Amino acid sequence: MSESLLEVSNLHASYGSIEVLRGVSLHVVEGEVVSVIGSNGAGKSTTLMSISQVLVPRRGEVRFAGESLLGLRPDQVIQRGLVQVPEGRRVFARMTVLENLSMGAYLRTNPADVTRDLKRVYDLFPLLGERGSQSAGTLSGGEQQMLAIGRALMSRPRLLMMDEPSMGIAPILVSRIFAAIRQLNSDGLTVLLVEQNARAALGLSKRGYVLETGSVGFEGPSADLLNDPRIRSAYLGD
């Protein structure tokens, strides 16, 4: 197997006295799309926040490109090329679309590169280019999700973590967003995808993990998980 770009080992995390993650381990090889599925409360979002150091893990290890991320601030994690699109989009509602995208590039110092990446975002999501001067808070949920993805891309990630990108979005825009993820991966971007739409996530990814009450219950090639009767019954509605 190729060397992992992201390696998470025996991760434990809590909110106060409530333990949420109980020894989560996973890895992502450069160039992959890897999905994480599971029911509400299984620890999917907590896993991403612990990886990005928004939530400090109690125990375990997170290594990215061979370097430990433990003890770093979230902005230092971003500087290393690991970027998260949070659940609920969290755009800056009073700022324009262009200002939101510019915020994604706030750590970068080469204006020409930033301009090129802005064009790349507009090519991926033409609607954002059409609404550059519009306040982000006036966009629909799906349009805000495109903006959140675009903002993350402006930081030029090496690995993009996405938390529930289809949540609360009209089906036609969900299709566009999943097509964009597929295109980004085809262009070489590595993606770790947390998604409640298990069928869509496993259909897009190469490998998958199933979280069950804070630990990995199943893992393997996405095609195998899609055909596993236990997964189909519990998460695919079959």
Structure tokens at 214: 């804070």
Write a three-state SS string for the chain: CCCEEEEEEEEEEEECCEEEEEEEEEEEECCCEEEEEECCCCCHHHHHHHHCCCCCCCEEEEEECCEECCCCCHHHHHHCCEEEECCCCCCCCCCEHHHHHHHHCCCCCCHHHHHHHHHHHHHHCHHHHHCCCCEHHHCCHHHHHHHHHHHHHCCCCCEEEEECCCCCCCHHHHHHHHHHHHHHHHCCCEEEEECCCHHHHHHHCCEEEEEECCEEEEEEEHHHHHHCHHHHHHHCCC
Assigned domain for 65 exists: no
Structure tokens at 48: 């991403």
pLDDT of res. 1: 46
pLDDT in tens, 8-25: 999 999 999 999 999 999
pLDDT in tens, 44-70: 999 999 999 999 999 999 999 999 999
Assigned domain for 6 exists: no
Nearest-angstrom CA–CA distance, 132 and 97: 5
pLDDT of res. 210: 97
Q: CB–CB of 133/58 below 8 Å?
A: no
Measured in whole angstroms, the distance separating CA 129 from the mean position of its chain's CA atoms is 23
Assigned domain for 64 exists: no
What values do phi and psi take at 92, rounded to 5?
Answer: -85, 100
Assigned domain for 221 exists: yes
Assigned domain for 24 exists: no
Q: CB–CB of 193/35 below 8 Å?
A: yes
- Tens digits of pLDDT across the chain (238 residues): 468 999 999 999 999 999 999 999 999 999 999 999 999 889 999 999 999 999 999 999 999 999 999 999 999 999 999 999 988 778 988 999 999 999 999 888 899 999 999 999 999 999 999 999 999 999 998 899 999 999 999 999 999 999 999 888 888 888 999 999 999 999 999 999 999 889 999 999 999 999 999 999 999 999 999 999 999 998 887 6
Assigned domain for 194 exists: yes
Assigned domain for 197 exists: yes
**208-228: b (≥16 Cβ within 10 Å) or e:** bbbbeebebebbeebeebbeb
Nearest-angstrom CA–CA distance, 21 and 158: 25
CATH number of the domain that residue 214 is part of: 3.40.50.300
Record the pTM. 0.92
Domain that holds residue 98: 31-56+77-235
Q: CB–CB of 152/74 below 8 Å?
A: no
| Count of the separate structural domains present in the chain | 1
Assigned domain for 40 exists: yes
